[in-house]
Structure 1
């Protein structure tokens, strides 16, 4: 199993604290740190994914929590809970045109107030037009880690970032994608890099 590097670091700290806690406190305290390390590794896991032959794929594991029209464009948001993989993936093939960080609040990502949360926009020039992936911090997420920069070429389903301890990833489709094109609905469970949101092939 592959893990995000931050997770290995955090888990290492917890494991290092385990024998100290067992000596200074109790064996149970030492065991608690081992369990904590295992939980951290589970949260920061980074399993492989295999994109299907066609279609715009989900940028995140989780539940579809946002489906709305914004002018002539359509937005789909995926809420990641604590048990989901938090590595985010490119929904389409494209070239990264811009990575923009926007400071903001840290409201729960499943609420309407999260529209004002801290976020990172990754704008991709794709064959069908600009597709934007937005990584949104939540109530506990304090660090958004984009792994790409302007000029990078991304394949559909390729890793593009990670949100530490949260929370939502959106796709803003190019003009021309309509509500009737969607293959998912609010409440559906999806997997990053594998679940198809739209397929116009």
Structure 2
């Protein structure tokens, strides 16, 4: 059997299949676009979860072209598309090989890469020619050592150069890492047409509540420590301390779903907490002009997942050195902070994630080049901290004042003029 060019070849332990969770992650970029779009699905099989997730993500006006993993499977795929009804059949077409496909805004590879470095690099080079200007190529590879002949390392290298997001999907056999690559700059205006991206980095507890993967890891460490203490000191009750700490530690990393305001002029809070200050200032690091800065203090009881207050494109990210003063104190102005700089239709917007007295680690998940929807998760700060939002002062009016409580991704902190 022959494969279409650019379809990954089986690795040393055979082909890897993507389950429903991995398929949803792979097709997340397709699902989040509200406007009409073109997509290309490469290496599809009739019974694959990726094909089902891709067709489920289609909206009126969308066009999806499917390239089978093997040319002889094209007719079977066409039959399956027709059996799903006219709504799908009008939007999905099947071609025999990649050579028959046209460039698209979103290119998805349904088969994880498991081959060698050279095979992976050659396939990505061919696929890159089919990604439209500013478009995204989404690919996957097994995340466990020994499951590829170099594909995983090559995709990590490509992600360092062109990556706009990576997700580890543990609930797959084997676990896989999904990479989103953008080879040409995207238009900033595109961000306003996006919904927040689906991320598997949080574990669902209920329909509206998740636990971030950092919380799962921290709780696992606590339980592991409890087990080790119980094993080494069976007559002691010291194991109860880490065991009882596991639940509140996990709860600290809770990641609830949030409803965005319908008002398109609304700027939403980047974090849960209490407004410390609303002031106008200048900061030459972000360009000329005056900024409106809204500072929010997060106590250890608040949700610590940070969100983008506006739709925009990440154009810069840097970390400033400093101290670890209590986040509610004026000296926190000079704490260690991570700055995510966004280009928006209204000007430069900055989200500053500041450490606090206890917080010593900032997690940022939005690489330079990423398009962020309003309210989309960008990272978190571990334990008590502070999050500041800088807005162009001539373009925004504040809607909150010191002492107000805000909810990240939901509360209005300002409105565009």
TM-score range, shorter chain: over 0.9
How far apart in 1 are the matches of 2:323 and 2:316?
22
How far apart in 2 are the matches of 1:200 and 1:134?
20
Q: Which residue of 1 aligns with 2:29?
A: none
How far apart in 2 are the matches of 1:26 and 1:141?
35
Map residues 1-201 of structure 1 onto 2, 5 A cutoff: 1=205, 2-22=210-230, 24=233, 28-54=237-263, 55-71=266-282, 72-177=290-395, 181-200=397-416
SS in 2 for 1:84: coil
Give 1:25 shift: 5.9
Q: Deviation per CA, 1:64-92: give whole Å up to 9, x if none.
A: 01211104221001100000110000000
Give 1:17 shift: 2.1
- Gapped runs of 5+ residues in structure 1? none
SS in 1 for 2:247: helix
SS in 1 for 2:349: strand
How far apart in 1 are the matches of 2:340 and 2:384?
17
SS in 2 for 1:6: helix
Choose 21-30 or 187-196, whichever is displaced more.
21-30
How far apart in 1 are the matches of 2:393 and 2:377?
24
- Is the Cα contact below 8 Å between 1:129 and 1:175 reproduced in 2? no
SS in 1 for 2:384: coil
Give 1:155 shift: 0.3
Give 1:175 shift: 3.1
RMSD: 1.6
Give 1:11 shift: 0.8
What TM-score do you get using the length of structure 2 for normalisation?
Answer: 0.46
Choose 30-39 or 104-113, whichever is displaced more.
30-39
What TM-score do you get using the length of structure 1 for normalisation?
Answer: 0.93
- Is the Cα contact below 8 Å between 2:315 and 2:343 reproduced in 1? yes
- Is the Cα contact below 8 Å between 2:319 and 2:339 reproduced in 1? yes
How far apart in 2 are the matches of 1:165 and 1:26?
33
SS in 2 for 1:46: strand
